[in-house]
Structures are given as structure tokens and as C-alpha cells.
């Protein structure tokens, strides 16, 4: 990503080593994701996307061998009808990664890691872009802090592991932000085309992209109506995404190559009329809209490190002339600073906004507003940079840089502790301010979702007698199959979907899942689980075995 510059936007560039440093940080963080992936179980969605990616991989194989045959409408539809309720870009990356790195080259022995790697890489790219954008607008310290806050935001860290779309769409929002700001500055045909393509890629990643116009249009109107000389200009930067993006969207999604309009309508309808999912909030099971007005604020405050929240709030209101201008960092122009601050505020607002509307369902927690977090991290970076600069202001230049570096470590230490401690239960990374994991449980906040913790009781399952039947509860069949294919769970164990058919039974503890546990009490004639998986003393999964063989 090039540093912003040019007339009207000119400024002292951030430290020359910011890009290499952020590259190192991002790659190191990617490495951390890879090494911490093995104990993070497969969410239900991942199981579906593994299956979809395998179907797409077969098509890519066929495309390589016989491209004419692969483009036959029936062949395209057969391969791409799988999971056609979600766009295909990220799943295609899962497919290509699995096909290339696992199946053909065998560089990655774990199939699930091969599926997950593209989302991890996009997340690392998101950390890099977040840091770079913040550094360009707010200075070097802000860039480093922004990258650090995002990397160590527990929700983003958790979802960055998964072969899902939530972290990738956050990355695409940041890419669109970069392309948009660049188009406003450069006003070249090339920059408009890049913006349009970036928006198309976002559309092809997840439907959160539908909310981007609520950011791009007002921001473009505020910052893109006039040239650097103050003359009115045609707002190509505002229009380009909608001229080019849909074409990219359709071109990259083979499911839309035939019967395009009807299938696009079907895609939109699926998400506009989505099933409501249960979620626990303050001890109550919420299963239909409207979401309680307090839902988003409470969940954000409970799961985003308090340091990051405070830094972001301060970063949002801090004056431009408080930004550091020398030593460890450099000062940006008022215009560039304001443009990114406003963009960040709009992006956070557009991500959060739908969850205050009366008809927006709760689908399952904070992951649906994940695109807000890179922008919140940029604001937090700005706030941290201002605060640390003030703390180090009276030091000599050389010591100031060192002190600022130490200050950055200190400011990120709390978030890092929360994030690393929450893993692999990062769906509910409750912060110390509300009492940590037990505080979240006491408040009646959701602890997990869609049965992803089955992997963490694999040891108990593998100690069951040969060919035991296991009620896998909320584990998706595809996720169970992946656990078995990778040898995490013994292959002779048979999944069942009724406790009464099983020799052992799992319960993923969620409030509305209590009924399943009550059924197990009756079917197994015991209330006492053989094992309970806990984190900080809070139960996540119980494993029951029959008192007497069935």
C-alpha cells in the first residue's frame, strides 16, 4: 500500500520503517494464528464451508483439465449450488488453498488448516492495512498501536482463525477504505477502477458489503466534492463502486453466471428474511427481533478490551494538534487526519447501526459487526498515540522514542492478555472489567455458539469404548467428519442426533440448549456428566456416558 501524498494531502511521511515493521508484525501474527489453530474447534459454519470448498475444488480441478466441460451450465450449477446462500470468493480461496497446499503439494498436512489459511492471511492483511492507514493519517505510533489493537482484539483474533467470512469481510472493508481514500486523493481513472474492484471483492465476500455505501457516500460527499484547488469535481469516487462492483461480484461467482437476476434475488432474500437464532443476553434467551437496545453496547463493552474502547473514544475526539509531530512519530495534515477519523466513525456507525433497528435479527453475537473493529482500532491507535506522546513529551528525543515504544507495549498488554487467555474460547472473550469469563456467565451472556468446542473434549471421546455412538449435539455433521478425517476424534465413533440412540452425549452449554441436557438426564438416567470442559471455572461442554450399556 502506497503512502498517501500529493497536493492538499501533503504531509511528512510516517517513519520509513513503518511498512516493513507492520509487515513483520502481520506475518508474525499470521504465524500465531497458524500455531494456535489446532486447538480451536470447527464452528458449524465452517463444516458447511469445508463441504462447499471441496465441491468448488472439484470444479477448479475440472477447469484445469477440461475448461470447456467445466463451463457447461449444468456442471457449473452442480458445483456451485452448494452453499449458494453465500458468495463464493472466500470459499474459492479455501478451495484453492486446500487443493493446492494440502491435496497437490502436501505442504500443509492438516486439511482444516489449509481451508483456514486464506482467512488467516486476509486477516493478517487487514492488520497490516489497518496499521498502514492509521500510520499515514495519524503517525507512526498510531499505526503501530492500531495494528496492535486489532491483532489483539479477542473477537477479531478468534474469527481470524476460522474458515468463515467475518474476518475476511473486515479486511475487505479496510481495503475499500484504502481504495476510497486513494481515489479521493488521486482522482485518476485507475484509482476509480481500483475502488470499484475493491468494492466488488467486498460484495463477493459477505453481505456486510451492502452497508458500505452508508460509509462511502457521505464520506465522499464530505471530502470528495472539490479538487485540491477547491473546484467542484464530478464525484466519480462516489459512483465508481456501484458501476464496477456488481460486475466483479457476478464475474467471480459462477453460481450467478446463469439465471443471474433470479439468483441474485434469492441471495438477497435469504439474508433479508434470515432465520432468527437464539442467543442468551442478560440471562434471557432472545430468539426474535427486535434486539434489545442494550445488546450491542453491552456485548461490545463486555468483549472488547476496555483499553481499546477508551483509546478509541479518546481517539475519536482528540484534537488534531495533539497528534505527535516529532520523535517517534510524525504529524499528518488536518485534512488527512479528519478524513480518516470521519471514515472510521462512519464505518463503526454503519457496522453497529443495523443492530439498533427493529427488524434486524440477532444471528449470533459480535461477529456480525466485526468490520467495525479495524476502524475502532485505528481510532484507538490515534488515541493511544496522542496519550503516549503527552506522557513522553518532556523526554529527550532519543528517550522519547524508547519510552513511546515501551508505552505502546504497556497499552497493548491488557488487550493481549485478554485475547491470548480467551483462546480457544474467543467467541465469548469477557474482559476483566465485567469479571472475566465468570463475570460473563454471572451476567447471563452467551458463552459459545454452534458447537465449536467439540474438539476440546476429543480426549474424553477418544477414551470411549470401540464403536461407541455419540450424540454430537450442536456439532455440524461436516465439522464432525472433519474432526474424524484429521484423526482428532477416533474414526470408529458414530455420530447420532438423538441422546436415546447414543452411548455418550455432548452438551454445548447455551441457555436454550438446556432442554437437550434435560433429555439426556432421562435417556441416560443420570444427571451427572462424566466430564465438564471449563475455562476459568465456567462450563463449556459436558460429556455424558450411560450408567449401563444400551
Cβ-based nearer residue to other proteins, 66 or 527: 527
- What are the φ/ψ torsions at residue 426 (nearest 5 degrees)? -75, 0
Buried b (16+ CB within 10 A) or exposed e, 88-112: bbbbbbbbbbbbebbeeeeebebbb
CA 266 to chain centroid: 25
Cβ-based nearer residue to other proteins, 83 or 542: 542
- Under the binding rule (CB under 8 A), the answer on residue 383 touching other proteins is yes
CB of 167 to other proteins, least distance (A): 23
- Under the binding rule (CB under 8 A), the answer on residue 390 touching other proteins is yes
- Choices 6-14, 224-232, 246-254, 403-411 (CB under 8 A): range interacting with other proteins: 403-411
# chain residues binding other proteins, by CB under 8 A: 77
Q: Which helix (H) or strand (E) holds 265?
A: helix 260-272
Cβ-based nearer residue to other proteins, 165 or 452: 452
Distance CA 4, CA 513 (A): 51
CB of 540 to other proteins, least distance (A): 9
- Residue among 33, 248, 384, 489 that touches other proteins (CB under 8 A): 384
CB of 367 to other proteins, least distance (A): 21
Q: What is the CA angle 439-298-148, rounded to 5?
A: 85
- Residue among 89, 238, 389, 428 that touches other proteins (CB under 8 A): 389
DSSP, residue by residue, 213-225: HHHHHHHHHHHSS
- Residue among 407, 424, 488, 504 that touches other proteins (CB under 8 A): 407
Q: Which of residues 277-336 bind other proteins (CB under 8 A)?
A: 283, 285, 287, 305-307, 310-311, 314, 318, 322
Cβ-based nearer residue to other proteins, 427 or 523: 523
Cell of 88: 463464493
- Nearest CA to 341 out of 306, 368, 314, 371 is that of 314
CB of 350 to other proteins, least distance (A): 26
Q: Which residues pair with 506 in a beta bridge?
A: 543
Cβ-based nearer residue to other proteins, 121 or 507: 507
Q: Give the contact letters, 488-507, x = binds to other proteins (CB under 8 A), - = no.
A: ---------xxxx------x
Q: Which of residues 471-490 bind other proteins (CB under 8 A)?
A: 471, 473-474
Cβ-based nearer residue to other proteins, 136 or 474: 474
Distance CA 411, CA 509 (A): 34
First to last CA, the chain: 62
- Under the binding rule (CB under 8 A), the answer on residue 415 touching other proteins is yes
Q: Radius of gyration (Cα) for the chain, nearest Å? A: 24
Cβ-based nearer residue to other proteins, 195 or 378: 378
Cβ-based nearer residue to other proteins, 274 or 518: 518
Cβ-based nearer residue to other proteins, 238 or 318: 318
DSSP, residue by residue, 301-316: HHHS-HHHHHHHHHHH
Distance CA 68, CA 538 (A): 56
Burial (CB count within 10 angstroms: exposed 0-12, middle 13-18, buried 19+), residue 550: exposed
- Under the binding rule (CB under 8 A), the answer on residue 421 touching other proteins is yes
Q: Which of residues 425-444 bind other proteins (CB under 8 A)?
A: 431-433, 435-439, 441-442
Going from the C-alpha of 301 to that of each of 284, 304, 309, 364, 549, the distances in angstroms are: 18, 6, 7, 16, 47
Q: Which of residues 508-547 bind other proteins (CB under 8 A)?
A: 509, 511-523, 526-532, 534, 536-539, 542
- Under the binding rule (CB under 8 A), the answer on residue 153 touching other proteins is no
- Residue among 387, 453, 457, 493 that touches other proteins (CB under 8 A): 387
- Under the binding rule (CB under 8 A), the answer on residue 39 touching other proteins is no
Cell of 481: 467428519
Distance CA 61, CA 99 (A): 8
Cell of 286: 432472545
CB of 533 to other proteins, least distance (A): 10
- Residue among 391, 395, 458, 463 that touches other proteins (CB under 8 A): 391
CB of 433 to other proteins, least distance (A): 7
Decide: 215 and 265 in contact? Cβ < 8 Å.
no
- Under the binding rule (CB under 8 A), the answer on residue 388 touching other proteins is yes
Cβ-based nearer residue to other proteins, 357 or 498: 498
Q: Any idea what DSSP says for residue 433?
A: G
CB of 414 to other proteins, least distance (A): 3
Q: Give the contact letters, 237-276, x = binds to other proteins (CB under 8 A), - = no.
A: ----------------------------------------
Q: Any idea what DSSP says for residue 13?
A: P
Distance CA 216, CA 222 (A): 10
- Under the binding rule (CB under 8 A), the answer on residue 58 touching other proteins is no
In the chain, what is the greatest distance between 2 CA atoms, to the nearest angstrom? 84
Distance CA 254, CA 290 (A): 35
- Residue among 376, 411, 428, 457 that touches other proteins (CB under 8 A): 411
Residues counted in the chain: 550
- Under the binding rule (CB under 8 A), the answer on residue 417 touching other proteins is yes
Decide: 542 and 502 in contact? Cβ < 8 Å.
no
Pairing type for strands 538-545 and 504-508 reads antiparallel
CB of 434 to other proteins, least distance (A): 10
- Choices 225-233, 247-255, 365-373, 382-390 (CB under 8 A): range interacting with other proteins: 382-390
Cβ-based nearer residue to other proteins, 85 or 393: 393
Cell of 491: 474414526
Amino acid at each position: 500500500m502506497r503512502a498517501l501524498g500529493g497536493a492538499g494531502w501533503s504531509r511528512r511521511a510516517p517513519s520509513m520503517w513503518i511498512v516493513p515493521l507492520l509487515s513483520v508484525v502481520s506475518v508474525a501474527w499470521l504465524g500465531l494464528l497458524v500455531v494456535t489453530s489446532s486447538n480451536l474447534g470447527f464452528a458449524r459454519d465452517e463444516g458447511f464451508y469445508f463441504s462447499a470448498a471441496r465441491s468448488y475444488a472439484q470444479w477448479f480441478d475440472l477447469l484445469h483439465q477440461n475448461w470447456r466441460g467445466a463451463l457447461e451450465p449444468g456442471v457449473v450449477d452442480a458445483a456451485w449450488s452448494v452453499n449458494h446462500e453465500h458468495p463464493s470468493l472466500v470459499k474459492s480461496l479455501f478451495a484453492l488453498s486446500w487443493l493446492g497446499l494440502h491435496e497437490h503439494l502436501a505442504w500443509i498436512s492438516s486439511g482444516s488448516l489449509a481451508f483456514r489459511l486464506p482467512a488467516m492471511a486476509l486477516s493478517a492483511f487487514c492488520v497490516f492495512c489497518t496499521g498502514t492507514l492509521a500510520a499515514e493519517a495519524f503517525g507512526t505510533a498510531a499505526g503501530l498501536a492500531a495494528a496492535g489493537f486489532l491483532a489483539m482484539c479477542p473477537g477479531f483474533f478468534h474469527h481470524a482463525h476460522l474458515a468463515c467470512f467475518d474476518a475476511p469481510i473486515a479486511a475487505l472493508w479496510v481495503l475499500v477504505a484504502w481504495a476510497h481514500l486513494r481515489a479521493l486523493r488521486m482522482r485518476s481513472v485507475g484509482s476509480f477502477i481500483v475502488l470499484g474492484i475493491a468494492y466488488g471483492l467486498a460484495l463477493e465476500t459477505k453481505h456486510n458489503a451492502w452497508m458500505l455505501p452508508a460509509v462511502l457516500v457521505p464520506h465522499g460527499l464530505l471530502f470528495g466534492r472539490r479538487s485540491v484547488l477547491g473546484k467542484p469535481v464530478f464525484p466519480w469516487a462516489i459512483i465508481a463502486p456501484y458501476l464496477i462492483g456488481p460486475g466483479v461480484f457476478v464475474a467471480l461467482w459462477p453460481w450467478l453466471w446463469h439465471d443471474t437476476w433470479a439468483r441474485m434475488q434469492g441471495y438477497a432474500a435469504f439474508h433479508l428474511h434470515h432465520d432468527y437464532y437464539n442467543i442468551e443476553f442478560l440471562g434471557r434467551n432472545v430468539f426474535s427481533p427486535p434486539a434489545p437496545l442494550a445488546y450491542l453496547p453491552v456485548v461490545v463493552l463486555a468483549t472488547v478490551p476496555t483499553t481499546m474502547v477508551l483509546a478509541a473514544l479518546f481517539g475519536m475526539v482528540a484534537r488534531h494538534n495533539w497528534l505527535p509531530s516529532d520523535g517517534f512519530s510524525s504529524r499528518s495534515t488536518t485534512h488527512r487526519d479528519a478524513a480518516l477519523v470521519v471514515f472510521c466513525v462512519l464505518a463503526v456507525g454503519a457496522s453497529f447501526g443495523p443492530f439498533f433497528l427493529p427488524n434486524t435479527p440477532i444471528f449470533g453475537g459480535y461477529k456480525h459487526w466485526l468490520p467495525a473493529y479495524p476502524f475502532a482500532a485505528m481510532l484507538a491507535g490515534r488515541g493511544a498515540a496522542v496519550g503516549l506522546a503527552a506522557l513522553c513529551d518532556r523526554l529527550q528525543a532519543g528517550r522519547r522514542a524508547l519510552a513511546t515504544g515501551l508505552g505502546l507495549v504497556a497499552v497493548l498488554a491488557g488487550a493481549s492478555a485478554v485475547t491470548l487467555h480467551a483462546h480457544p474460547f474467543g467467541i465469548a472473550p469477557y474482559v476483566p472489567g465485567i469479571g472475566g469469563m465468570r463475570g460473563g456467565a454471572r451476567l447471563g451472556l452467551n458463552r459459545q455458539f454452534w458447537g465449536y468446542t467439540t474438539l476440546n473434549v476429543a480426549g474424553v471421546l477418544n477414551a470411549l469404548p470401540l464403536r461407541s455412538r455419540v450424540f454430537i449435539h450442536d456439532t455440524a455433521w461436516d465439522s464432525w467428519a472433519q474432526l474424524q478425517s484429521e484423526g482428532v476424534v477416533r474414526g470408529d465413533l458414530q455420530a447420532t442426533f438423538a441422546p436415546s440412540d447414543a452411548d455418550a452425549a455432548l452438551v454445548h452449554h447455551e441457555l436454550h440448549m438446556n432442554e437437550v441436557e434435560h433429555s439426556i438426564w432421562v435417556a441416560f438416567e443420570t444427571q451427572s456428566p462424566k466430564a465438564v470442559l471449563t475455562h476459568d471455572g465456567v462450563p463449556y461442554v459436558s460429556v455424558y456416558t450411560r450408567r449401563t450399556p444400551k
